[in-house]
């Protein structure tokens, strides 16, 4: 509950005082229009708190400056968390209009705080005297990160440069919002409606069922729809024998954000790239990539490029070999066409069946969504001693969302977990973890109470017909474990200060807990217990597991080319100086970079620039898409610790993992945190081995 704010009667207090079950907001009391008044009150109230800290007549201390800053803005934080979670997972026309209005306003608000000269002066005094303050390790880390954050936000710039930086930030915020909304519009508007039986040729029953549900949701009862949700379009591209339909939906999929009209993101990208380059120079950096990487494990674009180039060379060679194999398969079937991008998944699946006697349709009956959720929960229990208890009567922000208590070994609630798994037009694509509330120990009027985290996983799986089990692919199951790994990073957080809670770590370290957690999905015992046939309940046969493991490194050239091409294009955009970035044509620039890489024509980037939401729908992964690979180096080595212990659930290893990685948040430097767990830093070889590229 806010300590310093007394909201007026015009505000829906349900946004501020969360009195729902389990400490959740009372979502049924919240209307989309309520946010206008809530933000109108929360922003000035937050600035009032900030100005009180900056204008404190007493000499700066850690308590009256840093701790006070950590506690400030609770009303603003609560309103913001509800707003942004709804905007991503259950948006509306009202929320989208408000998002466009708020983005620049919230950017101005952030700049006003980070460029507050009096506030930074107090922080700077403490930072310069940090060695004499007798701070514990966590407090010292918070002071260092706070000082650097203000510096990177323009606190030491002159007034004119601060004004320009503020203008740039506002414009970037607006552009990022427009980019995301354009992609969502293209995804939501598209559906290929299929009316005839031969349109479904080659499709397995589980996909036909999901497409029928998708069509019905869009008003086409009795028909089938291919949507741009990965859980529908990727299986369609894998199984459909209709090459014409595969091409049609593939072209729509890769063209998101680049069609003519209001949703064309190419002008947005051009402006963003130029503004980011200008921002970096204002702050004293050679390029935006240098700026973004300065506080990461990688440190420099050169280090990132070295990693990406090494993987690219090996992945490309492997992908060329894979393409030759697919061409031979096409010729053997009597066709004379080359491997087009919309052919790859279809013929790769045929190749996998021929080579390993394994196909997705054979595997999928054993991958029930509910059982995979159980597997993720059980793995967390065996590793970290936590358990999950569902509350079916608790309403969340959408009827599809399930609510769980997260309990420690003694049965005490340590977190609340929201699970939102199904695709809908009001939800942006992809999968992510977010939070409504972060863990810390500065809650309450006396700043000595613990606040538990409220974490949410959001995905876009296709629904099954009423009464039928939801069957997912192995890739979907990996996504579920991946995002649950992020969720654990938030739920197991055990720190004092909000700014370093949970996933508040460097971008190229944040993917370690998620990618590492994926390893437990394929542990034999986990699959044997939870990969059970949806009709018979029989566990996945041993011979199918053998085939699954034999095929683990199949098609890895394709997968790594898809990813690495995207990461290289991201980096290429963001190493440009302002002159080179001026008036850039994003499509031509992307094509130039890919040509320089000798990109295989049979494969496209995993995320083409006009719908590359990681990079352009905000600032999160800009100049940072590489971080999945950087964390991949870490996770491949980290799981080796369990292998060396001889048990994927070794207690001592799991305890070190929890303390050093999942619970420590940003309280340690990432390298120090990793070494505390593993005893050493990793090398690239572990990743290359895992990806079959060694």
Q: What are the residues whose beta carbons fall under 8 Å from the beta carbon of 313, sequence distance 6 or more?
A: none
d(CA 615, CA 628): 13
Task: Count Cβ atoms within 10 A of the Cβ of residue 202 and give its class: 0-12 exposed, 13-18 middle, 19 or more buried.
Answer: middle
Q: What is the DSSP string of 194-247?
A: E-SGGGGTT--HHHHHHHHHHHHHTT-TTSEEE-S-HHHHHHHHHH---HHHHH
In order of 189, 230, 458, 490, 515, the CA distances from 479 in angstroms are: 25, 11, 10, 17, 9
Distance from chain centroid for Cα 341: 26
Dihedral of alpha carbons 388, 391, 396, 402, sign: positive
Distance from chain centroid for Cα 265: 21
In order of 91, 393, 515, the CA distances from 85 in angstroms are: 9, 21, 23
602 given a catalytic annotation = no
Q: Which two tokens stand for residue 615?
A: 């990079």
Residue 419 bridge partners (DSSP): 402, 457
d(CA 226, CA 214): 8
d(CA 546, CA 622): 40
Mutual angle of helices 230-239 and 243-254, in 10-degree steps? 150
d(CA 138, CA 55): 26
Q: Is 264 left (phi over 0), alpha (psi -120 to 50) or beta?
A: beta
Residue 451 bridge partners (DSSP): 440
d(CA 286, CA 277): 8
d(CA 561, CA 167): 37
SS3 at position 249? helix
Question: Exactly one of 483, 518, 602, 691 is catalytic; which is it?
Answer: 483
Write down the residue that tokens 């939801």 correspond to.
470
Closest CA to 369 of 440, 423, 433, 326: 423
d(CA 248, CA 266): 22
d(CA 472, CA 482): 15
Residue 306 bridge partners (DSSP): none
d(CA 481, CA 639): 15
* Positions marked catalytic: 483
């Amino acid at each position: 509950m806010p300590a310093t704010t007394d909201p007026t009667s015009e505000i829906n207090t349900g946004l501020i005082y969360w009195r729902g079950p389990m400490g959740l907001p009372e979502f049924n009391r919240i209307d989309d229009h309520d946010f206008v008044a809530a933000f109108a009150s929360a922003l000035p109230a937050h600035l009032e708190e900030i100005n009180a800290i900056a204008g404190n007549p007493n000499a700066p201390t850690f308590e009256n400056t840093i701790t006070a800053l950590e506690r400030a803005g609770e009303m603003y934080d609560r309103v913001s968390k509800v707003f942004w979670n709804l905007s991503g997972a259950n948006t509306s026309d009202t929320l989208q209009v408000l998002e466009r209005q708020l983005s620049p306003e919230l950017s101005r608000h952030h700049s006003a705080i980070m460029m507050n000269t009096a506030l930074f002066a107090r922080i700077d005094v403490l930072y310069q005297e940090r060695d004499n303050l007798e701070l514990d390790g966590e407090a010292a880390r918070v002071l260092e990160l706070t000082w650097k954050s203000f510096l990177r936000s323009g606190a030491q710039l002159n007034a004119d440069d601060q004004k320009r930086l503020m203008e740039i930030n506002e414009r970037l915020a607006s552009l990022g919002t427009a980019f995301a909304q354009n992609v969502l519009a293209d995804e939501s508007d598209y559906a290929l409606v299929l009316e005839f039986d031969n349109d479904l040729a080659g499709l397995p029953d589980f996909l036909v069922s999901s497409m029928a549900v998708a069509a019905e949701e869009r008003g086409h009862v009795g028909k089938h729809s291919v949507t741009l949700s990965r859980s529908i379009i990727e299986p369609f591209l894998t199984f459909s024998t209709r090459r014409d339909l595969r091409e049609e939906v593939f072209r729509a999929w890769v063209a998101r954000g680049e069609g003519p009209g209001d949703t064309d993101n190419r002008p947005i990208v051009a402006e963003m790239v130029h503004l980011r380059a200008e921002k970096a120079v204002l702050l004293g950096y050679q390029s935006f990539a240098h700026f973004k990487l300065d506080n990461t494990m990688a440190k420099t674009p050169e280090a990132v490029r070295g990693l990406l180039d090494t993987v690219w060379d090996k992945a490309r060679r492997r992908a060329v070999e894979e393409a030759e194999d697919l061409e031979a398969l096409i010729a053997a079937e009597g066709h004379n066409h080359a491997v087009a991008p919309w052919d790859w998944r279809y013929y790769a699946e045929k190749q996998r069946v021929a080579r390993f006697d394994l196909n997705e349709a054979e595997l999928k009956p054993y991958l029930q969504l509910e059982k995979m959720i159980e597997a993720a929960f059980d793995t967390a229990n065996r590793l970290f001693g936590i358990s999950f208890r569902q509350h079916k009567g608790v309403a969340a922000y959408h009827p599809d969302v399930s609510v769980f208590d997260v309990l420690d070994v003694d049965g005490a609630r340590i977190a609340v977990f929201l699970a939102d798994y199904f695709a809908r037009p009001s939800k942006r694509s992809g999968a992510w973890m977010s939070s409504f509330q972060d863990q810390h120990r500065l809650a309450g009027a006396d700043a000595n109470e613990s606040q538990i985290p409220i974490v949410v996983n959001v995905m876009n799986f296709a629904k099954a017909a009423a009464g039928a089990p939801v069957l997912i692919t192995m890739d979907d199951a990996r996504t579920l474990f991946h995002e649950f790994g992020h969720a654990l990073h938030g739920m197991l957080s055990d720190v004092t200060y909000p700014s370093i809670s949970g996933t508040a770590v460097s971008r190229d370290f944040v993917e370690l807990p998620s990618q590492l957690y994926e390893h437990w999905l394929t542990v034999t015992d986990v699959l044997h217990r939870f990969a059970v046939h949806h009709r018979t309940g029989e566990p996945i046969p041993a011979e199918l597991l053998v085939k699954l493991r034999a095929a683990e490194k199949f098609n890895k050239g394709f997968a790594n080319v898809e990813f690495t091409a995207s990461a290289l294009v991201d980096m290429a955009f963001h190493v440009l100086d302002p002159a080179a970035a001026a008036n850039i044509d994003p499509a031509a620039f992307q094509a130039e970079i890919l040509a320089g890489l000798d990109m295989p024509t049979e494969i496209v980037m995993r995320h083409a620039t006009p719908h590359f939401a990681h990079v352009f729908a905000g600032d999160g992964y800009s100049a940072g898409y590489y971080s999945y690979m950087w964390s991949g180096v870490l996770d491949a080595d980290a799981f080796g610790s369990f292998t060396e212990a001889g048990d994927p659930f070794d207690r001592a290893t799991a305890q070190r993992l929890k303390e050093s990685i999942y619970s420590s948040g940003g309280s340690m430097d990432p390298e120090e945190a990793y070494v505390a767990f593993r005893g050493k830093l990793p090398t690239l070889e572990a990743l290359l081995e895992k990806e079959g590229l060694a």
